Structure 1
Amino acid sequence: MIEFLSMGGYASYIWSSYGAVSLAMIVLLVLSVRGARKMEREASALQALSPRRRRRQGDEA
């Protein structure tokens, strides 16, 4: 197990790369979730401002 974790002497490069990629993916996830929530709030606000349209009799949801 120790041999696997040492990665043939390149452990510092490999594990730091894994760490950097993990950090980048976490940051990307957080920014994506924040952006989606912001867009949902903006869509709700715009929808609240728009006049309600009546449905025609033949239209279904």
Structure 2
Amino acid sequence: MDAGTIRGLGTLLVFLAFVGLAIWVFSGRRKQDFDEANLLPFADDPEALAKLNAQKKQEKGPEQ
């Protein structure tokens, strides 16, 4: 194998890793995990967390 083939295989490997990561990130099954991680900066501030939860309930609308 020459250097061009090794570089091509490296590029292919990085591309496949990118596609796999994109699928993992945008998967619908991961939404709850990412929503929880989104609130981590507010974990030490109960007042801010309460406001965010109230806002989230308003966005959902009335439960049926």
Larger helix proportion of the pair? 2
TM-score by length of 2: 0.47
Greater gyration radius:
1
